[in-house]
Structure 1
């Protein structure tokens, strides 16, 4: 997880900002999904 995302999530949890937590979780899963696709594409080459 990139440091900027970890910092944002930490702040959202500390402030109990439910909307931000949900949004940042979506960002994280999208980020993970994209990383996996890039790795799979590199292995296929």
Structure 2
């Protein structure tokens, strides 16, 4: 029972983090006009 709850929490956390990363990528595309950043360069600096 505890393992199932732990798995659900981890899965929810991973899904939330993925949504945040997708939102950040979308905002970055908006700010850069669709130009991609050089490999390995991430915002914020």
What is the count of residue pairs matched by the alignment? 30
| Gapped regions of structure 2 (runs ≥ 5) | 32-45
Larger-gyration structure (1/2): 2
Is the helix fraction higher in 1 or 2?
A: 1
TM-score normalized by the length of structure 1: 0.63
Cα root mean square deviation, aligned: 1.3
Cα deviation, 1:1-45, whole Å, max 9, x if unaligned, reads xxxxxxxxxxxxxxx700000000000000000000000000001
TM-score normalized by the length of structure 2: 0.63
Structure 1 runs, 4 residues or longer, greater than 3 Å off: none
| Gapped regions of structure 1 (runs ≥ 5) | 1-15
